C-alpha cells in the first residue's frame, strides 16, 4: 500500500515525539551541568570583586546605588596611642588612634562632625576651659600630652577666632601646626587611600572653605584646590563652580580614577543617610539620589556631581574614620 503525503507527515511526527521522550532525561542532565558551571563562574567573579588588590573593590548588586566596599585595613602591632585635634573653620574635630612603627593605624575614638562649636567660646577663659575639657578626654584614653598635636586647617586660618584659639593653645604649651591646602590634600591621601589603591585611585575632601584633591604620580602626591561647599556665601553661581570643579578633576589622570575615596562635611551628611550599621566604609549613591536639605548641602552636591561627571568614576567611598589630621600623624617621624 502506498502512503499518501499526509500519512508520511503523521508518521514522522510520531517518530519525533517518541525520540524526544526517549532523549529528554539526557537533555535535562546536560542543562543541569551547564547551570552548575554558570553558578560557579558567577561565584568566582563575586570572589574576585572582593579582593584587596585595588582592581575591583566594590561588591556590585543588582541596584547600582546599593554597593559595599569590602577592604579591611591591617591592624597595628604594638602600637602607641596618639591624639590630634583639628581646629576647623567652625569648630574642633579630635581623633585618638593606635599607630605602630609601620604606620598601620586604627581609630580608638573620634569626635567627628559634631565637635565643640565656636559659638560657645565667647572669651579667652571659655576657650581655655573648653580646651582643657577636650584634652582631658584624650588623657583618659591613654594619650600622653607629648603625643597630642593641634592642626589648624587651611579653611580655619581665614576665621578671626582661630588666631585667638591658637594663642591660647600656645600659652598652654602646645605647638599649633598651620597647614596649607596642598599639605591637607597630601595628609588626607595618606590617611584615606588604602595602600593597595594608592596607584590607581584618587582622594577628594569636600570642605566648607575649599575642596582638596590628590593622587599619586610616581613617588609624589599631586594636589588640587577647588571651591568649597560654602561658595554660595560669596554669591558665586552654581554653574561657575560646576565648571571650575569639572575642569580641575579632568587633570586627574584616567589611570588614577578606579575609586574615589571621599571625605568632608557634605560626604559625611550624604553617607549618614544610608549607612547600614557601623561599617568603616560607605559607598555613596549617585548625586541625583540625594535631596539637598540646605544651601550648603545643595552646593556640596553640585561639587560632587561635577566630580562624578568629570571623572566618570562609579565608586565613591566615604571613610568614617579618616581625616587629614590623621595623615599629619602618619607623616611624623616619631
Supply the pLDDT for residue 137. Answer: 85
Residues 6+ apart with CB under 8 A from 95: 83, 84, 86, 107, 109, 110, 111, 112, 323, 325, 326
Gyration radius (Cα) of the chain, Å: 28
Superfamily name with CATH number, domain 191-322:
Exopolyphosphatase. Domain 2 (3.30.420.150)
CATH topology identical between 80-178 and 191-322: yes
Contact yes or no for 322/263 (Cβ under 8 A): yes
Supply the pLDDT for residue 124. Answer: 72
Supply the pLDDT for residue 251. Answer: 97
Supply the pLDDT for residue 26. Answer: 52
Beta pairing, strands 202-206 & 260-264: parallel
User: Under CATH, what is the fold of the domain 80-178?
Assistant: Nucleotidyltransferase; domain 5 (3.30.420)
Supply the pLDDT for residue 9. Answer: 52
Tens of each residue's pLDDT in the chain, 334 residues: 555 555 565 665 666 655 555 555 554 554 444 443 333 333 333 333 344 445 544 543 333 467 889 899 999 999 999 999 887 766 678 899 999 999 999 999 987 554 555 555 557 777 777 778 778 888 999 999 889 999 988 877 777 778 877 888 888 888 889 999 999 999 999 999 999 999 999 999 998 889 999 999 999 999 999 999 999 999 999 999 999 999 999 999 999 999 999 999 899 999 999 998 899 999 999 999 999 999 999 999 999 999 999 999 999 999 999 999 999 999 997 6
Exposure string over 138-172, b if 16+ CB within 10 A, otherwise e: beeeebeeebbbbbbbbbbbebebbeebbebbeee
Bridge partners, 91 (sequence order) = 117
Structure-block grid coordinates of residue 325 = 589630621
Supply the pLDDT for residue 50. Answer: 40
Q: Which helix (H) or strand (E) holds 80?
A: strand 80-87
Beta pairing, strands 281-283 & 260-264: unpaired
SS3 assignment, position 281: strand
- Using the 8-state DSSP alphabet, how is residue 263 labeled? E
Q: How far apart are CA 85 and CA 203, in angstroms?
A: 21
Q: How far apart are CA 35 and CA 89, in angstroms?
A: 58
Residues 6+ apart with CB under 8 A from 228: 155, 206, 207, 208, 209, 210, 211
Q: How far apart are CA 125 and CA 149, in angstroms?
A: 21
Nearest to 213 by CA among 258, 245, 255: 245
Q: Where are the domains of the chain?
A: 80-178, 191-322
Supply the pLDDT for residue 111. Answer: 78
pTM of the prediction? Answer: 0.77
- Using the 8-state DSSP alphabet, how is residue 51 labeled? -
Supply the pLDDT for residue 161. Answer: 75
Amino acid at each position: 500500500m502506498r502512503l499518501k503525503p499526509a500519512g508520511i507527515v503523521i508518521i514522522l511526527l510520531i517518530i519525533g515525539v517518541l525520540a524526544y521522550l526517549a532523549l529528554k532525561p539526557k537533555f535535562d542532565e546536560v542543562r543541569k551541568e551547564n547551570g552548575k558551571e554558570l553558578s560557579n563562574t558567577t561565584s568566582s567573579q563575586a570572589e574576585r570583586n572582593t579582593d584587596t588588590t585595588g582592581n575591583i573593590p566594590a561588591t556590585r548588586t543588582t541596584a547600582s546605588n546599593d554597593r559595599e566596599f569590602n577592604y579591611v585595613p591591617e591592624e597595628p602591632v604594638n602600637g602607641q596611642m596618639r591624639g590630634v585635634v583639628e581646629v576647623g573653620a567652625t569648630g574642633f574635630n579630635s581623633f585618638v588612634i593606635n599607630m605602630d612603627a609601620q604606620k598601620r593605624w586604627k581609630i580608638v575614638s573620634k569626635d567627628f562632625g559634631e565637635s565643640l562649636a565656636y559659638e560657645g567660646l565667647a572669651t579667652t577663659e571659655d576657650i581655655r576651659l573648653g580646651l582643657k575639657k577636650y584634652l582631658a578626654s584624650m588623657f583618659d584614653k591613654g594619650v600622653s600630652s607629648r603625643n597630642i598635636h593641634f592642626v589648624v586647617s587651611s579653611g580655619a586660618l581665614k576665621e578671626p577666632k582661630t588666631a585667638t584659639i591658637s594663642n591660647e593653645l600656645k600659652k598652654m604649651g602646645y605647638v599649633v601646626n598651620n597647614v596649607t591646602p596642598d599639605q591637607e590634600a597630601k595628609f588626607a591621601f595618606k590617611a584615606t587611600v588604602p595602600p593597595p589603591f594608592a596607584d590607581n585611585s584618587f582622594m577628594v575632601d569636600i570642605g566648607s572653605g575649599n575642596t582638596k584633591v590628590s593622587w599619586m604620580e610616581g613617588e609624589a602626591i599631586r594636589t588640587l584646590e577647588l571651591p568649597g561647599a560654602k561658595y554660595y556665601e560669596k554669591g558665586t553661581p552654581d554653574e561657575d563652580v560646576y565648571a571650575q570643579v569639572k575642569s580641575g578633576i579632568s587633570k586627574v589622570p584616567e589611570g588614577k580614577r578606579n575609586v574615589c575615596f571621599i571625605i568632608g562635611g557634605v560626604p559625611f551628611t550624604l553617607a549618614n543617610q544610608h549607612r547600614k550599621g557601623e561599617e568603616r566604609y560607605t559607598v555613596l549613591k549617585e548625586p541625583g539620589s540625594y535631596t539637598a536639605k540646605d544651601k550648603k548641602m545643595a552646593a556640596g552636591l553640585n561639587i560632587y556631581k561635577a566630580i562624578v561627571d568629570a571623572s566618570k568614576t562609579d565608586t565613591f567611598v566615604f571613610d568614617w574614620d579618616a581625616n587629614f589630621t590623621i595623615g599629619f600623624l602618619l607623616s611624623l617621624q616619631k
